[in-house]
Amino acid sequence: QKLINESCDHRGPIAGVLIVTCGLTGYYGNPLSKYIRHYEGLSYDTELLHSRHQRAKRALSLQERELQLEFHAHGRHFSLRMKRDSRLFSDGFKLEMSGEQLDYDTSHIYTGELYGEHGSLTHGSVVDGKFEGFIQTHRGTYYVEPVERYLQDKNVPFHSVIYHEDDIRDCTSVCLSLQEDHVLLRKKRMTQVEKNTCQLFIQTDHLFYKYYKTREAVIAQISSHVKAIDAIYQGTDFMGIRNISFMVKRIRINTTSDERDRSNPFRFANIGVEKFLELNSEQNHDDYCLAYVFTDRDFDDGVLGLAWVGAPAGSSGGICEKNKLYSDGKKKSLNTGIITVQNYASHVPPKVSHITFAHEVGHNFGSPHDSGSECTPGESKSQDKKERGNYIMYARATSGDKLNNNKFSVCSVKNISQVLEKKRGSCFVESGQPICGNGLVEPGEECDCGYSDQCKDECCYDANQPDNKKCKLKPNKVCSPSQGPCCTGECSYKSRNEKCREESECAHQGMCNGASAQCPTSEPKANFTACHGDTQVCLNGGCSGSICEKYGLEVCTCASVDGKDETELCHVCCMEKSQYRPLLQPLHTVTRTDSDISRKFICTATLQAGFLQVLKSPQIKALKVFKSEQKVLKS
């Protein structure tokens, strides 16, 4: 199947500038790219984080292995607690770079959670003292990337950018099927042991390396993609088949020097997407569950990914498929797929690329595109169903910010479960067991207080105890503080209404419920409550919306007409909600009539019908509206 992304230029106005401030860690900016309409800058101490990473890398004790990172952004405090992600790579992990096999240390890849937010997940890498990755919270997912990936030629006072998944523009995609039908039925019956881990071989071509520039950055991208789909698949019950996970067995990185290597099948600049997949399939991938190639190519028609579709019987392709001779006289491995991070000359955000990867792997696992009213709620006439969005395997994927976008439909679950039932026994391996002693309560563990030299918990057996005891609750103990902040040191649940999470601008304080060690999700404050210095509003418990929304307006980008007055970037521009129609000319001027200044401004929304100017940040509460007299041009 191939995932195709359509141009987004017709979908509506780009949300624009918010107030620029110069705090210690948070900055605010224009749209980062055509896909990302709002971001904030991060400027925490990179030298300090680098030294902490080096200390964690060398550490012997459990406590010293933990890496901590704290910063403030998007109206909230982030306190990351992470440890090296040793479960993402198999024991026999191999790395090849330009044909040379290397012993490689993956200690810069981290996973963990937000302190005090049970059920959160953070994953990423630390290279040169900068964290890059994603942070899944109760209020959505945030993405952190280096600023030079977007603002390479800009002199900005921050080194990283962070944005929320809700600020990724909704760009639709289309899939077309690709399936091999000329095959013999598989006759061997699979014996089903508890094998639930799909081992991956990931290759990257020289163009992918050229964009990300270093070996560490390339491996960080691979691990981020694998971790993202691992969270999706592990959280899905495929009709009784649970905890499906992924592990990287081998990575091959083609550097820019491989562009001239005649043995490199991906060396040519102009390769069509189907040919690109075929080049991957012509290699023997019998040692792997799936084999993917990551690239940075702008394929025709907006293709983002392509993969062979799995089936329980009757056709080749998908997970565990072995190398065999086909009717065209070539031996191929059809347990393959490809994804690209470029689309219509722009690089897609990680969120879009992660969903693309999950979608293509879904085809490998046996799911066609969703169809029928039950599995395509985004097409429903019911507004409630429509707002939940479509599922992962819908033929047109969004940016991934709606409720269903990260889930499989019942149609997909049924199809995938049939393929797993038939095929996983031939190439899946037993999953990595939970790591008792890492301080994280994982599936199969009752508690985890660390090793004996670290555990101060009277409720939980430490990791140095025998196998039948370690990471289990002691007799007659109800809970352990390692399970969450609502368990006392005396191993009982804290009483109802005891505080377990501080109040934030957009959510009330968290209160224990008296029946669980975990802190329940905080009750959100009313939508459109002003936050972040009255420059944003609360939406569903997070400080993410523009102040424009409080007045029933839409945000757009402001700039002075001559482009020279940078202070105008410190304004918030809003426009009337209207029926947007494409313009022949994307810019219209708006006259500002403040007493202190009179000049023209540009509201740089791509599609617009009328404009409203908001005063500088100290005056926002006295919001005044100036409507453009110009007529909207018809395309």
Q: Where are the domains of the chain?
A: 173-183+193-376+410-427, 552-622
- Measured distance CA(416)–CA(240) in Å, rounded: 12
The whole-number pLDDT of residue 532 equals: 79
Percent of the chain with pLDDT over 70: 77
Residues labelled as active-site residues: 360
- Measured distance CA(219)–CA(256) in Å, rounded: 16
Annotated binding residue 363: yes
Annotated binding residue 359: yes
To which residue do tokens 């394929």 refer? 299
Sheet holding 336-340, edge to edge: 100-102, 89-97, 245-253, 197-204, 290-295, 336-340, 303-307, 2-5, 173-176
Q: Rounded to the nearest 5°, which phi and psi values hold at 81?
A: -120, 110
The whole-number pLDDT of residue 28 equals: 57
The whole-number pLDDT of residue 2 equals: 56
Percent of the chain with pLDDT over 90: 48
- Arithmetic mean of pLDDT over the chain: 80
Tokens of residue 176, six digits: 């077309």
Tokens of residue 529, six digits: 């409550």
Average pLDDT over residues 251-267: 92
Query: In the predicted model, is pLDDT for residue 339 greater than 70?
Result: yes
Residue type, 209: Y
487 secondary structure, DSSP code = B
Query: In the predicted model, is pLDDT for residue 164 greater than 90?
Result: yes
Strand partners, 530: 537
563 compared with 338, residue with greater pLDDT: 338
For residues 581 and 609, the answer to whether their CB atoms sit within 8 Å is yes
β-bridge pairing 130-137 and 121-127: antiparallel
CATH number of 173-183+193-376+410-427: 3.40.390.10
To which residue do tokens 């209207």 refer? 578
The whole-number pLDDT of residue 223 equals: 95
Tokens of residue 33, six digits: 């790219």
Ranges 6-10, 300-304, 475-479, 530-534: which has the least confidence: 6-10
- Measured distance CA(495)–CA(147) in Å, rounded: 45
pTM assigned to the model: 0.65
Identify the burial level of 242 via C-beta atoms within 10 angstroms of its C-beta, where 0-12 means exposed, 13-18 middle and 19 or more buried.
Answer: middle
DSSP codes, 12-73: -PPP--------SS-EE-S-SSSSB---EEE---HHHHHHHHHHHHH--SHHHH-EEEEEEE
Residue type, 545: G
pLDDT in tens, 355-376: 999 999 999 999 998 999 899 9
Average pLDDT over residues 220-224: 95
Query: In the predicted model, is pLDDT for residue 76 greater than 50?
Result: yes
The whole-number pLDDT of residue 286 equals: 94
Q: Could you tell me the CA-to-CA distances from 632 to 71, 585, 625 in Å, in that order? A: 43, 10, 18
For residues 304 and 4, the answer to whether their CB atoms sit within 8 Å is yes
Write the CB contacts of 67 (distance below 8 Å, at least 6 apart in sequence).
Answer: 49, 52, 53, 56, 80, 81, 82, 83, 110, 112, 126
Query: In the predicted model, is pLDDT for residue 565 greater than 70?
Result: no
Q: H-helix or E-strand containing 119?
A: none
Annotated binding residue 354: no
Write the CB contacts of 595 (distance below 8 Å, at least 6 apart in sequence).
Answer: none
Average pLDDT over residues 473-481: 95
Query: In the predicted model, is pLDDT for residue 351 greater than 80?
Result: yes
Residue type, 298: D
Q: Could you tell me the CA-to-CA distances from 91 to 224, 432, 585 in Å, in that order? A: 19, 10, 58
For residues 245 and 195, the answer to whether their CB atoms sit within 8 Å is no
Q: Could you tell me the CA-to-CA distances from 204 to 251, 306, 365, 446, 625 in Å, in that order? A: 8, 15, 22, 40, 52
Write the CB contacts of 568 (distance below 8 Å, at least 6 apart in sequence).
Answer: 558, 559, 560, 601
Q: What's the half-sphere exposure (Cβ side, CA atoms, 13 Å) at 551?
A: 23
- Measured distance CA(335)–CA(366) in Å, rounded: 11
The whole-number pLDDT of residue 172 equals: 53
β-bridge pairing 197-204 and 245-253: parallel
Query: In the predicted model, is pLDDT for residue 468 greater than 90?
Result: no
pLDDT in tens, 615-635: 333 333 334 333 333 333 332
pLDDT in tens, 103-112: 888 999 999 9
For residues 254 and 205, the answer to whether their CB atoms sit within 8 Å is yes
The whole-number pLDDT of residue 206 equals: 96
The whole-number pLDDT of residue 601 equals: 40
The whole-number pLDDT of residue 61 equals: 65
pLDDT in tens, 570-596: 666 777 765 433 333 333 333 333 333
